[in-house]
Amino acid sequence: MDTHTAMQTYAKVVELGSFAAAADKMGQARSVVTRQIAYLEQKYGVRLLNRTTRKLSMTDAGRAFYERVRPILAEVADLEQALQAEGQRPSGRLRISAPVSFGILHLGPAIAEYLQQYPDVVIDLDLNDRVVDLVEDGYDVAVRIGPLQDSSLVARPLAPQRLLVCASPDYLRRHSTPATPEDLKLHRCLHYAYASTGNEWHFEKDGQVRLLRVNAALRANNGDVLRTAALAGHGVILQPEFLVGEDVRAGRLTEILTDYTNTSIAMYAVYPHRRFLSPKVRSFVEHLEARFAAPRPMPAPGAAKRRSR
């Protein structure tokens, strides 16, 4: 009997909690599953499972065996995938998660270029400012902007993004221009609810960092909502250059507190850890690196309709 197949069967029995469920999942007869587990127990001279008519549980030896077998099976699956993919063009469905505004303004055009080069790939793009669980939710790759949480995910850095503090010329005429970060306490601030720093804005000058807790006149989990409010003269905004840079260059917004610097936020392509990447994931990540990692501005199309960050 094939030991590797028996190991796969054992792992499936443990994960699904029954012989019958494992047999159905693997398209095998229950008797075959039973024989494969018995084969492993006889081969290694230990009982792996305690089973009654109502309950199935691992023995201590079975639990240790499962913990050792699981990464081995994953390695073999990755190796088989890599060998099968060798020389293949990227193809199949590619599930991507990205922030809303960045996806609309910049990732959309990048995906269009990618599909021209790899027409056999089908893109399933989910735009959401919430941080998704790539493994649990079944995504192949995500674009994330800002600090990353510790995890087993692989993160490939792309372009850093400056944060700009700005307001409309009309707002500044009515409320005066802040000269220091502390002056913002007297102003209406428009705050991004998903900011990693909470409701504090960070400023640095001469090596000293100042943390300012802002009084938000508007909090939103979407950058374009804040941008619209700033353009309408409702307050001061702190947002990435990819979202407000074109407005600043066109004079619709005025950058303020330019004597101070804000912490840049990094942009990453993130994907589940795999030693052997599928051609579609590898080619897409490399495409993002080539398009966004170069030190060039990413002007937002001024005439394009923006809906969210």
The tokens for 224 are: 């374009």
The confidence score (pLDDT) of residue 274 equals 64
What is the pLDDT tens value at each position of the chain, 309 positions in all?
789 899 999 999 998 888 988 899 888 899 999 999 999 999 999 999 988 767 888 999 999 999 999 888 888 877 777 666 655 778 889 999 998 888 888 889 999 999 999 999 999 999 988 888 888 888 899 998 877 776 778 888 887 778 899 999 999 999 999 998 899 888 999 998 887 777 788 888 887 888 888 888 898 888 889 999 999 999 999 998 888 988 999 999 999 998 888 767 788 899 887 666 788 898 999 999 888 864 443 333 333 333 333
- Residue pair 309/223 in contact by the 8 Å Cβ criterion: yes
End-to-end CA distance of the chain: 55
What one-letter code names the amino acid at 228? Answer: T
The confidence score (pLDDT) of residue 166 equals 95
Q: pLDDT per residue over 136-183, tens digit each?
A: 888 899 998 877 776 778 888 887 778 899 999 999 999 999 998 899
Interatomic CA distance for residues 126 and 120, integer angstroms: 19
The confidence score (pLDDT) of residue 294 equals 47
Of 68, 64, 35, nearest in space to 48 by CA: 64
| H-helix segments, the chain | 3-16, 19-26, 30-44, 60-85, 100-102, 108-117, 134-137, 169-175, 223-231, 241-250, 279-292
The confidence score (pLDDT) of residue 11 equals 92
- Residue pair 163/236 in contact by the 8 Å Cβ criterion: no
- The DSSP code for 152 is S
Q: Give whole-number Cα distances, 299 to 100, 145, 170, 243, 294, in Å.
A: 16, 17, 23, 9, 14
The confidence score (pLDDT) of residue 300 equals 35
The confidence score (pLDDT) of residue 204 equals 84
Residue listed under structure tokens 């102003």: 187
- Residue pair 20/51 in contact by the 8 Å Cβ criterion: no
Of 62, 307, 275, 46, nearest in space to 152 by CA: 275
The confidence score (pLDDT) of residue 148 equals 75
Interatomic CA distance for residues 10 and 47, integer angstroms: 12
- Residue pair 31/57 in contact by the 8 Å Cβ criterion: no
Count of CB atoms within 10 A of residue 172's CB?
18
57 strand-pairing partners = 50
Q: Give the H or E element holding residue 236.
A: strand 236-240
Residue listed under structure tokens 């994907």: 271
Interatomic CA distance for residues 88 and 128, integer angstroms: 31
Q: Exposed, middle or buried by CB within 10 Å (0-12, 13-18, 19+), for 143?
A: buried
Q: pLDDT per residue over 212-224, tens digit each?
A: 888 888 988 888 8
- Residue pair 284/277 in contact by the 8 Å Cβ criterion: no
The confidence score (pLDDT) of residue 168 equals 96
Please, which residues have CB within 8 angstroms of residue 251's CB and are 6 or more apart in sequence? 169
